[in-house]
Chain A
Amino acid sequence: MGWTEKEQQDLEKILKKYPADRKLSAVLPALYLAQREKNWLDDDDIEAVAEALGIETTHVHSIIGFYTLFRKEPVGKYMMEVCTDLPCALRGAEDFFKRLCERMGLGPKGGTTEDNLFTVEEVVCIAACDKAPCMQINLEFFESLTDEQIDEVVAGLRAQASNNGA
Chain B
Amino acid sequence: MANPLLKEHVLLRHRDIEDIHKIDVYLAHDGYRALEKGLKEMTPDDVTNVVKASGLRGRGGAGFPTGVKWGFIPKNLNPKYVVVNADESEPGTFKDREIMESNPHQFIEGVILCAYAVGAETCYIYGRGEFWTLFHGRMQEAIDEAYEKGFLGKNIFDTDFSCDMYLHLGAGAYICGEETALLNSLEGLMGQPRSRPPFPAVAGLYAKPTVVNNVETLANVTPIVLHGADWYRQFGTEKSPGTKICSLSGRVNRPGNYEVPLGTPIRYLIEELGGGIIDGKAVKAILPAGASSSNMGADKIDTPMDYESMAAAGGMLGSASFIILDETINAVWAAEKNVKFFKHESCGKCSPCREGTFWLTSVYRKLREGYGTKQDVELIETIINQMEGNCFCLLGEFVVPGVRTSLELFRNEYESLASEENEVDQPQKDLIHTFF
- Residues on A lying within 8 angstroms of B by beta carbon are 17, 19, 22-29, 31-32, 53, 55, 62-63, 66-70, 85-87, 89-91, 124-132, 136, 139-141
Contact = CB atoms under 8 A, between A and B. Distances in A.
A127 B190 contact: no
B392 to A, nearest CB: 16
B186 A129 contact: no
B344 A90 contact: no
Given A27-B188, A63-B190, A140-B133, A86 B251 contact: no
A71 B345 CA distance: 17
Interface stretch (B107-115, B171-179, B427-435): B171-179
A76 to B, nearest CB: 17
Contacts of A24: 187-189
Interface of B: 88-94, 96-97, 124, 128-133, 166, 168-174, 185-191, 206, 247-251, 255-257, 291, 323-325, 329, 334, 337-338, 341, 344-345, 347
A132 B92 CA distance: 11
Among B88, B249, B323, residue most surrounded by chain A Cβ atoms (within 10 Å): B249
Contacts of B341: 85-86, 124-125
A77 to B, nearest CB: 17
A130 B255 contact: yes
B63 to A, nearest CB: 21
Contact of B249 (A25, A70, A130, A139): A130
Given A25-B187, A86-B337, A90-B251, A136 B130 contact: yes
B345 A124 contact: yes
Contacts of B256: 130
B204 to A, nearest CB: 13
Nearest to B326: A90
Contacts of B92: 86-87, 125, 129
Contacts of B345: 124
Given A86-B334, A124-B345, A139-B133, A68 B128 contact: no
B129 A127 contact: no
A26 B188 contact: yes
A19 to B, nearest CB: 7
Nearest to A124: B341
Contacts of A32: 129, 132, 169, 171
Contacts of A67: 129, 170-173, 191
Nearest to B128: A127
B96 to A, nearest CB: 8
A27 B91 CA distance: 27
A22 B129 contact: no
A68 B94 contact: no
Contacts of B291: 85-86, 125
A91 B253 CA distance: 10
B171 A19 contact: no
A125 B173 contact: no
B97 A127 contact: yes
Given A127-B128, A139-B130, A19 B174 contact: no
Interchain residue pairs A-B with the least CB separation, the first 7:
A24-B188, A68-B172, A67-B171, A130-B255, A69-B172, A87-B249, A125-B91
Nearest to A25: B188
Contacts of A28: 129, 168-171, 185, 188
Contacts of A132: 249, 255
19 contacts: A17-B124, A22-B187, A24-B188, A63-B190, A68-B171, A68-B173, A69-B130, A85-B91, A86-B250, A86-B291, A86-B334, A91-B249, A91-B255, A127-B130, A129-B92, A131-B255, A132-B255, A136-B130, A139-B129
A94 to B, nearest CB: 9
Nearest to B134: A141
A129 B190 contact: no
Central interface residue in B94, B257, B345, by most chain A CB within 10 Å: B94
A154 to B, nearest CB: 19
B34 to A, nearest CB: 26
Contacts of A140: 133
Contact of A29 (B169, B172, B173): B169
A127 B249 contact: no
Contacts of B88: 127
B294 to A, nearest CB: 14
A136 B131 CA distance: 10
Contacts of B337: 85-86, 89
Contacts of A127: 88-89, 93-94, 96-97, 128, 130-131
